[in-house]
Amino acid sequence: MQIITYIFVLILFFIHTSANGIIDNTPAQYAIYYIYMIKVSIKPHWEIGDANAAALDTTELLALLMAIEQTGSIAKAAMQVHHSYRHAWGLLRSSELAFGHSLITSDRGRGTTLTPFADKLLWADRMISARLSPTLDSLASELEIELGKTAEGKSKTVRLNASHGFAVAALLNQFNKIGLPVEVRYRHSTDAMAALSRQECDLAGFHVPLGEFEKPAIASYAKWLNKRSDCLIHLAVRSQGLFVAPGNPKQIHDLSDLQRSDLRFVNREAGSGTRMLLELMLAGRSISHQKINGFENTEFTHSAVAAFIASGMADVGFGVQTASQRFGLDFIPLVRERYFFALPSASLNDPLLRSVVDILQSSTLREVVNQLAGYDATDTGKIQSLQEAFG
């Protein structure tokens, strides 16, 4: 049966308010920020079917398949997603009839496993999420701000512009836990720095490689930084390198291999810090991007690059180690880089920005960042001048 997928975004608002708006054990000086806090969550939703039948809502099925993948048992999976065994079994069978493909296989010694078709469904869901999450998260933040404008006692927000990354996500999670009002806009490092220079945001995230490419990288940001009035807050050191299939079947070892005609490459978008870093590294080795098959095939996030390779639609990509690990890929480390937030030094006197600094310097955030594959939080929260950071 020919499968036609219909992918669309179903906007779901989950608005949470507390009777008093104050989180337990929250410092008193933060309390004004937590009154009438509104949180908006927007998740991608998709359906699948053919031209002659009603499309199947994948939400319930995908949750069940993911639980089976994790537990190796239909019964345990059903309990995990709060369904009866009978309902779970019926959902699997009706879905198999609709797709014309089996979804599970059972083996007495191995338990229940997913078929390649079911694996592909889970991959599709992860790919959709990886591609859409930055856009949806930014939209959710904008909606929170607009809805919050009508709430009595609403304070101003921290305006954060940054690329969509794992340490940034960990930081935002800490903000959410204490109800710190943040307006997030996911954008490339160059766009974030330009926005800071126009005073459109309070914090701008960007990353700079350690070693031979540090000077040319920081030079690309120099026009937006003021060495007399701006400062930097260190977020993390992270590893960037090549994503390859498990076991590295294509025997890819370094950047020079990207010129091979048998390899398909997937890139990050122009303007992203990772794309800029890759281009610097290629130029340093006199490798022309015109010799790289797929150089113009781009994805917006590290996770989307990893998902593309995990699907078999590309052989190699370039990005952070965490994304590679989460999609079960092998990783070839090539460079370490520092991720900073830039901000005006004077803003450190603002109580709201001071609360941001307190979170960045907390042991809790440091522990979370250290748990991310390829990340080092030794200097997380460290405040430096441009001279101290780059000499």
DSSP string, 342-360: EEEGGGGGSHHHHHHHHHH
Give residue 53's pLDDT: 61
Residue 359's pLDDT band (boundaries 50, 70, 90)?
very high
Compare 99 and 322 and report the one with higher pLDDT: 322
Q: Is the pLDDT of residue 391 over 60?
A: yes
Q: Is the pLDDT of residue 33 over 60?
A: no
Give residue 137's pLDDT: 74
Give residue 31's pLDDT: 34
For the chain, where do the domains classified as CATH 3.40.190.290 start and end? 171-391
Q: CB-based contacts of 308: which residues, under 8 Å, 6+ apart?
A: 127, 266, 299, 314, 317
Give residue 135's pLDDT: 73
What integer is the mean pLDDT of 38-60? 74
* Token pair 């592909």 in the structure block, residue: 120
| In contact, 154 and 35? CB cutoff 8 Å | yes
Q: What distance in Å separates the CA atoms of residue 28 and residue 119, rounded to the nearest whole number?
A: 49
Residue 52's pLDDT band (boundaries 50, 70, 90)?
low
Give residue 214's pLDDT: 95
What integer is the mean pLDDT of 106-129? 83
What integer is the mean pLDDT of 50-62? 75
Which of these, 46, 38, 6, 8, lies nearest to 21 by C-alpha position? 38
What integer is the mean pLDDT of 216-237? 94
Please state which of the ranges 102-111, 199-208, 247-256, 369-378 shows the lowest mean pLDDT: 102-111
- Which amino acid type is present at position 31? A
Q: Is the pLDDT of residue 8 over 60?
A: no
Please state which of the ranges 6-10, 131-135, 283-287, 371-375 shows the lowest mean pLDDT: 6-10
- Burial (Cβ within 10 Å: 0-12, 13-18, ≥19) of residue 125: buried
Q: What distance in Å separates the CA atoms of residue 158 and residue 171, rounded to the nearest whole number?
A: 13
Compare 15 and 99 and report the one with higher pLDDT: 99
Compare 255 and 150 and report the one with higher pLDDT: 255
Percent pLDDT > 90 in the chain is 58
Most confident stretch, 70-84, 150-164, 360-374: 360-374
Q: What distance in Å separates the CA atoms of residue 148 and residue 38, rounded to the nearest whole number?
A: 6
Q: Is the pLDDT of residue 27 over 60?
A: no
* Topology adopted by domain 171-391: D-Maltodextrin-Binding Protein; domain 2 (3.40.190)
Show the DSSP H helices in 72-158 as ranges. Answer: 74-80, 85-99, 116-148
Q: What distance in Å separates the CA atoms of residue 339 and residue 167, rounded to the nearest whole number?
A: 9
Residue 47's pLDDT band (boundaries 50, 70, 90)?
confident
For the chain, where do the domains classified as CATH 1.10.10.10 start and end? 1-155
Which of these, 15, 254, 316, 314, lies nearest to 146 by C-alpha position? 15
What's the mean per-residue pLDDT of the chain? 84
Give residue 50's pLDDT: 65
* Topology adopted by domain 1-155: Arc Repressor Mutant, subunit A (1.10.10)
| In contact, 125 and 59? CB cutoff 8 Å | no
Q: Is the pLDDT of residue 307 over 70?
A: yes
Give residue 109's pLDDT: 66
Q: What does pTM read for this prediction?
A: 0.72
Residue 165's pLDDT band (boundaries 50, 70, 90)?
confident
Residue 282's pLDDT band (boundaries 50, 70, 90)?
very high
